[in-house]
Amino acid sequence: MLYFSRPENFNPRFSAVGIYLVHDEKVLFLKYTKKYDQAWTLPSGKVEPEEDESDAVIRETLEEVGVKLDKDKLIHLFTAFASYPDADFPWFVYRYDLSEEPELTLSDEHSDYVWVTPEEALKLKLIQHENDCLKKAFNI
């Protein structure tokens, strides 16, 4: 389950981050190569023990798509709380507005990418709970 307020008995094992990279009113989505049944997602990943959330989202973006972000331009949109039978974790969601469409270098984890409006993204085969996050992030 995904919650937008911290549920009772929430016991996080790690933290995770994700970022909506936005250019010209379109958002970047990445297609997983193998895991999650080749669903679409935003650049994301776990926070390492020595990192804060903003450093983690900058690192993950660089690793997954080869784009270096300016920490001062990150916008923290919200924190969601994921609770699954095997793990609980906070999900820190960011936005970053790009003035130009960047050249992307995908990691091996992803096979494709697409720039779509938030409404178009809702029609993609998204990872679990991404619909809810997308609707909250873009007020749709």
Domains of the chain and CATH, by start? 2-138 (3.90.79.10)
| Residues 28-48: tens digit of each pLDDT | 999 998 777 889 999 999 999
Q: How far is CA 51 from the centre of its chain?
A: 17
Give the pTM.
Answer: 0.94
Concatenate the DSSP letters of all residues of 98-128 into one string: -SSPPPP---TTEEEEEEE-HHHHTTS-BPT
pLDDT greater at residue 56 or residue 87 = 56
By residue count, the chain amounts to 140
| Residues 61-98: tens digit of each pLDDT | 999 999 999 999 999 999 999 998 889 999 999 999 99
User: Tokens in use for 135?
Assistant: 């609707």
Percent with pLDDT over 70 in the chain: 100
